[in-house]
Amino acid sequence: MNSTTRVALVTGGSGGIGRAVVERLAADGLAVGVHYAGNKARADETVAAVTSAGGRAVAVSGDVADEHAMSAAFDAVEREFGGVDVVVNTAGIMLLSPIATLDLDDLDRMHRTNIRGTFVVSQQAARRVRGGGAIINFSTSVVRTQLPGYGAYVASKGAVEAMTLVLARELRGKDITVNAVAPGPTATPLFLQGKEQATIDNLAKAAPLERLGAPQDIAEAVSFLAGPARWVNGQVLYANGGLA
């Protein structure tokens, strides 16, 4: 392996936006650790897609909220590729309900994955990412659009934005950028599941570009922050086609 090859670790990298991010970073020339929580077959399929296209990838597993599991995942990527330059936190869950009727167990599940998980991975990234690297977390455009039913999910992603901006300041002098991407409505299985076609159509028309985002649209924003965007730091990039 070329000693100049950059290395990325993508949490939740086996499906949806995460897989698109893996494939885009691999196409950009990075070796990629494809993290998964439970579906090894899907992660192996993603690795196979990268390698068949001429890239380098390895599957690593672990609960993002478990600091020991994620330390081991970072270790595995470092053993395979020699270090870590880019960490992308796409792993997350979304459970929707009006605040008044939300099952508090769902709140705790989202807190564990979206807040603690992002914190644990960011903590490992802050310790391990090499100079010239990037840490990219994931928020949501609903932080701005404030759609009913998203209260608990938005609360978790608001916390992600806050910790991201603080971490950018804490890494002063290390030449590591820390940003967040906040996608708008994006055509992934997670987004489409359980929605009526009329709802999907209305969300597609909400942005001035009058379509849903594609996972590749979000991956393009990640590619920018992971590569050429060395003067973009401590920011939230709203990738949503012009939605409010």
- What are the extents of the domains in the chain? 7-186+216-236
pLDDT value for 87:
98
Token pair of 207 as six digits: 């942005």
User: Does residue 180 or residue 188 have the better pLDDT?
Assistant: 180
Q: Which residues of 130-143 are buried (b: 16+ CB within 10 A; e: fewer)?
A: eeebbbbbbbbbbb
User: Residues 210-236: pLDDT tens digits?
Assistant: 999 999 999 999 999 999 999 999 999
Residue type, 226: A
Instruction: State pLDDT tens for residues 111-122.
Output: 999 999 999 999
pLDDT tens per residue, range 125-175: 999 999 999 999 999 999 999 899 999 999 999 999 999 999 999 999 999
Q: Mention every residue, 6+ apart, whose C-beta is less than 8 A from residue 132.
A: 85, 175, 176, 230
Amino acid at 205: K
Average pLDDT for the chain? 95
Amino acid letter for position 47: V
Q: Is 153 a catalytic residue?
A: yes
- The pLDDT of residue 228 is 95
Share above pLDDT 70 across residues of the chain, in percent, rounded to a whole number = 98
What CA–CA distance (Å, rounded) separates 50 from 68? 27
Active-site residue identified among 36, 150, 153, 238? 153
Fold of 7-186+216-236: Rossmann fold (3.40.50)
Closest CA to 153 of 164, 139, 163: 139
| Nearest 10 degrees: Cα torsion 222, 175, 160, 215 | 10
Q: What is the pLDDT of residues 92-102, one digit of tens each?
A: 999 999 999 99
Percentage of the chain beyond pLDDT 90 is 89
Please determine, for residue 1, whether its predicted confidence score (pLDDT) is greater than 60. no
Enumerate the β-bridge partners of residue 59: 34
Q: What pLDDT was estimated at residue 173?
A: 97
- Is pLDDT at 199 greater than 70 in this prediction? yes
